[in-house]
């Protein structure tokens, strides 16, 4: 597991591990637009360290609309996500369409010529860390024959850090989703509650902000990013929001 650390040093064009800055997009993918037509903000991007299971070596990018700031909560609890859920998500309580886009890829593409216009571009670093898993047991006993390892897998929660890998901290319990390609989405990284990113001074405050001077993802909900292990599409990734 790696804890993601934010620096005050500005990010420069071509930097791969950044808040804001110049996105390194998958081949053939344009800068993402919200359902409302606005160009999305690049909140952050980074190269996933090589020793992270399944996604090590991928480049991850997380975008959200500057205007649409909502939680991603689907109506009707189904673990099967619909075809092209990244463009047309299942019906949401808060928005009529996708106001975020999360992408992973290994393409040899260049940074875009122009940077994100909302966030102050900053460098990210990664610190190897040890996960601490707590066994959370809501009134259940170990079932017959279940060993402690599988109990941790089924019921364990990790630290509420800004982190890559490890175990999600699942405030409201584990959630799992199936990609339209048939694979089960796999946890990649986690963004803690009320993680704010400094905006450029001349930009307006974010609608429904939790902290003036900063923009946040998904109303500040804790977010667990799950993605398709088969990499069936660069945007086959789903943000689980909990609080
Ligand atoms: Zn929008
Ligand atoms: Zn898939």
Most confident option among 29-43, 64-78, 147-161: 29-43
Percent of the chain clearing pLDDT 70 (strictly above): 93
Question: Looking at the predicted structure, is the pLDDT value of residue 212 above 70?
Answer: yes
- Residue 83 CA to ligand 2 center (angstroms) comes to 10
Range in 129-133, 189-193, 201-205, 226-230 with the lowest mean pLDDT: 129-133
- Residue 232 CA to ligand 2 center (angstroms) comes to 4
HEC-encoded secondary structure of the chain: CEEEEEEEEECCCCCCCEECCCCCCCCCCCCCECCCCCECEEEEEEECCCCCCCCCCCEEEEEECCCCCCCCCECCCCCECCCCCCCCCCCECCCCCCCEEEEEECCCCCCCCCCCCCECCEEEEEEECCCCCEECCCCCCCCCCCCHHHHHHHHEECCCCCEECCCCCCCCCCCCCECCCCCECEEEEEECCCCEEEECCCCCCCCCCCCCCEEECHHHCEEEEEECCCCCCCCCEEEEEEC
- Residue 57 CA to ligand 1 center (angstroms) comes to 30
Percent of the chain clearing pLDDT 90 (strictly above): 84
Q: How far is it, in rounded angstroms, from Cα 81 to Cα 235?
A: 13
- Residue 216 CA to ligand 1 center (angstroms) comes to 14
Q: What is the mean pLDDT of the chain?
A: 93
- Residue 12 CA to ligand 1 center (angstroms) comes to 27
pLDDT at residue number 161: 96
Q: How far is CA 110 from the centre of its chain?
A: 22
pLDDT at residue number 75: 85
- Residue 138 CA to ligand 1 center (angstroms) comes to 39
**Which residue is it, tokens 């986690």?**
190
pLDDT at residue number 239: 98
Angstrom CA distances, 100 to 29, 70, 79, 108, 167, stand at 14, 10, 19, 23, 23
State the average pLDDT over residues 71-93. 91
Q: What is the pLDDT of residues 125-184, one digit of tens each?
A: 999 999 998 886 655 555 666 666 776 767 789 999 999 999 999 999 899 999 999 999
Q: Which position has the higher pLDDT, 86 or 144?
A: 86
Range in 53-57, 70-74, 140-144, 212-216 with the lowest mean pLDDT: 140-144
């Amino acid at each position: 597991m790696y804890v993601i650390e934010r620096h005050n040093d500005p990010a420069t064009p071509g930097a791969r591990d950044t808040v804001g800055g110049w996105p390194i997009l998958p081949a053939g993918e344009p800068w993402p637009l919200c359902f409302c037509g606005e160009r999305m903000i690049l909140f952050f991007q980074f190269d996933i360290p090589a020793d992270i299971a399944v996604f090590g070596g991928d480049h991850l990018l997380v975008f959200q609309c500057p205007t649409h700031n909502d939680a991603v909560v689907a109506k009707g609890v189904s673990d099967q996500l619909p075809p092209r859920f990244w463009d047309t998500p299942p019906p949401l309580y808060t928005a009529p369409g996708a106001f975020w886009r999360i992408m992973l890829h290994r393409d040899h593409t260049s940074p875009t010529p122009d940077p994100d216009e909302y966030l102050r571009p900053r460098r990210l670093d990664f610190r190897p860390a040890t996960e601490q898993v707590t066994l959370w047991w809501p009134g259940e006993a170990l079932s017959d024959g279940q060993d402690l390892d599988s109990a941790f897998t089924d019921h364990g929660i990790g630290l509420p850090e800004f982190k890559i890998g490890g175990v999600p901290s699942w405030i409201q319990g584990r959630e799992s989703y199936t990609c339209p390609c048939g694979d089960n989405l796999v946890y990649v990284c986690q963004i803690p509650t009320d993680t704010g990113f400094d905006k450029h001074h001349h930009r307006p405050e974010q609608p429904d902000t939790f902290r003036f001077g900063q923009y946040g993802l998904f109303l500040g909900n804790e977010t667990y990013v799950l993605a398709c292990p088969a990499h069936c599409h660069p945007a086959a990734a789903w943000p689980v929001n909990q609080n």
